[in-house]
Amino acid sequence: MITKKQKEVLDFLNKYSKEKGYAPSLDEIRSHFKLASVSTAHYYVDKLSKEGYLDKTANQPRSIDISSSKPMKSVAHKEAEYFSIPILGSASAGIAMMFAEANIFGYLRVAQRDLSRKEGVFALRVKGDSMNRAKIAGKNLEEGDYVLVDSEYNNPRSGDYVLSVIDGFANLKRFQKDKKGVRLMPESRNPKHKPIHISSHDDFMINGKIIKVIKK
């Protein structure tokens, strides 16, 4: 996910490289945007590189790798390779304390190779430590990570990792159902976390299945 300012820098890099045939220097980026220092320009380029928009070559005056045989990747090209998944806030992976408000706080870029579709999928930031032993596709749910939730999955099976809402509070837990009823199970290295037993008095619903963890 990139900010509006980073997008402006990326647009400038694309336009400049198309007109000149090579990338602008960090000082030219600093001058164009009237930045305080070259280090600020470097920050934007480094961020765009880490997000996959740019290639950089070390120890070069113009560190963005652009040549006649390898033109700079355009925004349109990169966007075609990524899904923008809405972030709907945070959810507790501990005691149910985070209110589940359906407000978009931003977008998370997820490679298409890692996600088959984006319809019905949204992201949440993990709060708490009650699921730090759980593994989804080999990745733990640790505080600060993002989880992708398939909201169209509303018929959970025992063992599924789900987003539930109990009395208006969002929870990330492992779903368990048997003759004794429904329980939301923690999987944590912290022994203080206990199963949540769902009764007929609870305002309870399943809002989707956790399908992927995006590390912070």
- Enumerate the active-site residues: 130, 173
Distance between terminal CA atoms of the chain?
12
- The CA-atom distances, in angstroms, between 74 and each of 18, 24, 51, 80 are 10, 15, 13, 10
Q: What values do phi and psi take at 41, rounded to 5?
A: -60, -40
- Both structure tokens of 203: 């305002």
Helix, coil or strand: residue 133:
coil
Q: Which residue has the tokens 């963890």?
A: 213
Dist CA 187 CA 92 (whole Å): 13
Beta carbons of 37 and 30 less than 8 angstroms apart? yes
With 0-12 / 13-18 / 19 or more C-beta atoms within 10 angstroms meaning exposed / middle / buried, residue 78 is middle
Beta carbons of 91 and 100 less than 8 angstroms apart? yes
Which parts of the chain fold into alpha helices (H)?
Answer: 4-20, 26-33, 38-50, 75-79
